Structure 1
Amino acid sequence: MDRIRIVGGNKLNGTIPISGAKNAALPLMIAALLTDETLILDNVPRLADVAQLQRILGNHGVDIMSAGKRPGDHEYQGQTLHISAANIIDTTAPYELVSKMRASFWVIAPLVARMHEARVSLPGGCAIGTRPVDLLNMALEKLGAELSIDGGYVVVKAPGGLKGAEIDFPKVTVSGTHVAVMAATLAKGTTVITNAACEPEIVDVADCLNKMGAKISGAGTTRIVIEGVTKLHGARHTVLPDRIETGTYAMAVAMTGGDVLLAGARPELLQSALDVLVQAGATVTPNNEGIRIARNGAGIKSVDVATAPFPGFPTDLQAQLMALMTMAKGSSHITETIFENRFMHVQELARFGARIHLDGETATVDGIAKLRGAPVMATDLRASVSLVIAALAAEGETMVNRIYHLDRGFERLEEKLSACGAQIERISG
């Protein structure tokens, strides 16, 4: 199993290109099931989750062609996928595929919308709490689908097709919003989703669906209206830049010091996180090429943050911020309001010497002057990269084990960091 070895203490200087967003690429790939024509997606990141979803879609009979590099392409530019679901030969998504990644459960929406039936295994993914699918199922039932659970599978049927409805989510759900929007595009009549998630990835998927002939308005607000259409066609769409990757590298620069351009990053996608970085003592300068992050000389200041749905501070950056706060002056408080069990990185950060006290959903971090390198273990996708951030600033050597979690969500992490002066390498086997 691969490991990453890091010797800390180097400032980061240079340019880090930001990849396409994993959390947009996955639902965009799934949306290809809604049409029998080809959907072309540009800037798709090369990640383990993307490869896994390709296998899942292939099981349904979807043909996916990955275009090779073109003259003038930069090595970090994402891949172009040509996705054709002309003939869906199987409406079952089996346990052995779905259990590896939660987002794959979302195939249930386009399958029932277009084929009027689906049989999808209950999902797996990161172990950060229950993350049930009840709100997704509720949305499909509102649209007229009949649901049952059979041997760990959700079986859904809509013999006459889905029908437009009013869907009011009792709490904000990104996955539920994705599923409701995709399913409603081919439903008869109008669907109104209230208390919808406002994340940029929802907007990106809605933009792509509209290019395919859907009639969606209000994406990015809490009220989305979808006028159902009988058929969608092919389109070409570029995946937006990954705001979580942007925030992660921004915190790495704040942690180590230095000056880095995050090329292709868009500040409006993570303004709340950038505001927190400024409070913590980093200099944040958006420009035409992306976002420059610098911290030269000044120490890290403690901040208090609570995670919240967009446009609030993202839960997917909570672990990275906690790593940054381990060397801040004073005490900081980080409250996790989205997922239970999302403090599994605390015990691993403690191995660097970090002082973190947990009380319910709030972590109190007492900053210290120095972290020391240690052998650590990745527990989930975002927690694993928090260990990398700590290791970059720690004295001595750190070995990060079980990095397959990292490969699910970060494209060429060690290459991007080493190009900016980090002493980091992957050790295979």
Structure 2
Amino acid sequence: MLNSPSAPAAARGTHPDGGRSGAPPDYWDVLGGPPVPRPVLTMGGFKHLLVPCLAAACLSDHPWHIGNAPRIEDRRVLSAVLRHLGAAVEDRGPRVTVDASGLSGTHIPAHWSAAVHGGIYLLPALLAARGEVTSGLHGGCAIGGGAQGSRPLSHVASVLERFGAVCEADAGGFRAKCGPGGLRGTWIDLAGYARTEPATGTPTGPHYSGATKTALLAAVTARGTTVLRNPYPKPDALELARLLGQAGAQIEISPGRITVEGLGGPLGGADITLPSDLMEVVTFIAWAVHLRREVELVVERPDLLKAGLASELALLSEMGVPLEWDGPRLRVRPAERLRAVRVLASSHHVYSDAGPLFALMLLGADAPSRLTDDVWGDRFGYADGLRGMGARLTRDGNDLLIRPGPLRPAAGPLVATDLRAAATLLLAALGTETPQRVHGVTHLARGYEDLPAKLAALGARIDIDPRTDAHNDTPNGTGEAS
């Protein structure tokens, strides 16, 4: 174990991120190492496409094969849920196969729904496939406005009601039933589940993505035509629509509109290869920029990746970060001078998930920068940790002013409150070249595959709390999710 400050009182006996009382502390002791000559890393699959694809498999009476599936907590938990519901799941290596022809269950137990956010996409799928669904509250990062810190479900209920379902979402969980004859096609302007981003006039907000994917999953096996205006424009929604089309749905995607001719019955099978995870790519770019190192990233489906990260790549170019593409390989080199930029995280611009990583990178810029998050109001859980390392950050509502300057080791352990805060504080700690303890790393298992091994390949030393079970092959190491 590295020499590092002892855990704070709040971390002893409980998870700093609000886990159950008596659970073992989750932390890593980290230390940055010397540069590794020309390191090469292979990126894992796209989490935000994996989870709705696992749900979509419930709409089919033929197997869905999902390749390049990242080994993350969402995959483990959702595979367990699908087995509980009666589906056959083969979950090996980079491939997951789901055969939902034997699907019989309609209830997602609360201990599973609370474990990850991705279970919300099982709600429309089970409703469409079985005619009803119930669940507990849904978890993930506590950055939304749901009951007891959970992710909100009211927008899911509202969308499904447009298809004729009767829904109830409250502090006890979620319940929905189809009307007579099942779900029926409808017309939805998804901008109604968003707010207008003031600088650009485009829809944005925390419900926009979920409402779009919920509507797609409900529409494909409904009776009649569904028209979705102003759908969420990122690849996790648009690529989901394309994959549903490949499985037999009749879907037309045009600018600002998706039209679905409902099948009135099950989808066919699918054989999918997920693209690389967009946020893992941004994370390792941020590692290279912040530590002023070089790295080469090997990605799957680079064309989709470039399109999905168009706003992020444009900002990195404006900042002066050298990025060189060679087929599926992206080489990142240190910037000679890092320029200040204005970062807008919104549904039509930079991913909100990328905002914390840009804040870290911009501490090395040549002038102050400003970051606005117009998706999630509580996406600044990393700011206090960075301030404890000397960062000069000033928050005003959903704006963050970033004054450049070096980081120093924190006086005590760093505590991350969500997934991207954990990644940001981890990279910040590695940049100090001093042993540092980072709490809240259990969050990382929901978004990154084999992160300790990848960081070790870059020269970092990662000592994992031997009492934590966050990195076992199943969510609690026993074959069942806790």
Task: Mark yes or no: TM-score above 0.5.
Answer: yes
Report the Cα distance in structure 1 between the residues aligned to 2:364 and 2:434, rounded to whole angstroms. Answer: 16
Partner of residue 125, structure 1: 140
TM-score (norm. length: structure 1) = 0.92
For structure 2, the residue ranges without an aligned partner over 5 or more in a row are: 1-24, 146-150, 195-203, 468-482
Partner of residue 81, structure 2: 56
Letter in 1 for 2:437: M
Instruction: Verify the 8 A CA contact 1:281 1:295 in the aligned structure 2.
Output: no
Q: Structure 1 residues 33, 198: CA separation in 2 closer, same or farther (over 3 Å shift)? A: same
SS state at 2:51 partner: helix
TM-score (norm. length: structure 2) = 0.82
Report the Cα distance in structure 1 between the residues aligned to 2:319 and 2:433, rounded to whole angstroms. Answer: 21
Instruction: Verify the 8 A CA contact 2:154 2:169 in the aligned structure 1.
Output: no
Aligned residue among 352, 377, 381 for 1:344? 381
The RMSD of aligned alpha carbons is 1.9
Shift of residue 137, structure 1, vs aligned partner: 1.5
Aligned residue among 187, 200, 210 for 2:235? 200
Instruction: Verify the 8 A CA contact 2:153 2:174 in the aligned structure 1.
Output: no
Task: Tell me which moved more, 228-237 or 298-307.
Answer: 298-307
Partner of residue 360, structure 1: 397
Deviations 1:120-139 (A, max 9, x none): 32322211131532222222
Deviations 1:362-413 (A, max 9, x none): 1111111343255211210011000122122224122112211011101111
Does the alignment pair 1:146 with 2:185?
A: no
Q: Structure 1 residues 277, 428: CA separation in 2 closer, same or farther (over 3 Å shift)? A: farther
Aligned residue among 88, 91, 96 for 1:81? 96
Letter in 2 for 1:420: L
Shift of residue 103, structure 1, vs aligned partner: 2.0
For structure 1, the residue ranges without an aligned partner over 5 or more in a row are: 69-78
Letter in 1 for 2:131: H
Deviations 1:44-93 (A, max 9, x none): 0000121111122222111111245xxxxxxxxxx111111112221111
Q: Structure 1 residues 367, 105: CA separation in 2 closer, same or farther (over 3 Å shift)? A: same
Does the alignment pair 1:104 with 2:119?
A: yes
**Structure with a larger share of its residues in strand:** 1
Shift of residue 305, structure 1, vs aligned partner: 0.8
- Written as runs of structure 1 = structure 2, the 5 A alignment for 1:293-312 is 293-295=332-334, 298-310=336-348, 312=349
Instruction: Verify the 8 A CA contact 2:418 2:440 in the aligned structure 1.
Output: no
Shift of residue 98, structure 1, vs aligned partner: 0.8
Aligned residue among 252, 255, 258 for 2:290? 255
Report the Cα distance in structure 2 between the residues aligned to 1:406 and 1:211, rounded to whole angstroms. Answer: 32
SS state at 1:421 partner: coil
Task: Tell me which moved more, 37-46 or 257-266.
Answer: 257-266
Report the Cα distance in structure 2 between the residues aligned to 1:64 and 1:212, rounded to whole angstroms. Answer: 18
Partner of residue 442, structure 2: 404
- Written as runs of structure 1 = structure 2, the 5 A alignment for 1:30-429 is 30-67=55-92, 79-130=94-145, 132-149=152-169, 152-158=172-178, 159-169=180-190, 170=192, 171=194, 172=204, 173-218=208-253, 221-229=255-263, 230-264=265-299, 265=302, 266-295=305-334, 298-310=336-348, 312-373=349-410, 375-429=413-467
SS state at 1:340 partner: coil
Shift of residue 428, structure 1, vs aligned partner: 2.4
Q: How many aligned positions are there?
A: 416
Shift of residue 290, structure 1, vs aligned partner: 2.5
Report the Cα distance in structure 2 between the residues aligned to 1:307 and 1:215, rounded to whole angstroms. Answer: 33
Report the Cα distance in structure 2 between the residues aligned to 1:364 and 1:32, rounded to whole angstroms. Answer: 44
Report the Cα distance in structure 2 between the residues aligned to 1:354 and 1:416, rounded to whole angstroms. Answer: 26
Report the Cα distance in structure 2 between the residues aligned to 1:89 and 1:344, rounded to whole angstroms. Answer: 40
Letter in 1 for 2:42: P
**Alignment identity in percent?**
29
Report the Cα distance in structure 1 between the residues aligned to 2:334 and 2:322, rounded to whole angstroms. Answer: 6
Shift of residue 347, structure 1, vs aligned partner: 0.5
SS state at 1:207 partner: helix
Report the Cα distance in structure 2 between the residues aligned to 1:46 and 1:395, rounded to whole angstroms. Answer: 29
Instruction: Verify the 8 A CA contact 1:19 1:45 in the aligned structure 2.
Output: yes
Does the alignment pair 1:7 with 2:31?
A: yes
Report the Cα distance in structure 1 between the residues aligned to 2:314 and 2:169, rounded to whole angstroms. Answer: 45
Q: Structure 1 residues 366, 55: CA separation in 2 closer, same or farther (over 3 Å shift)? A: same
Letter in 2 for 1:418: A
Q: Structure 1 residues 8, 181: CA separation in 2 closer, same or farther (over 3 Å shift)? A: same
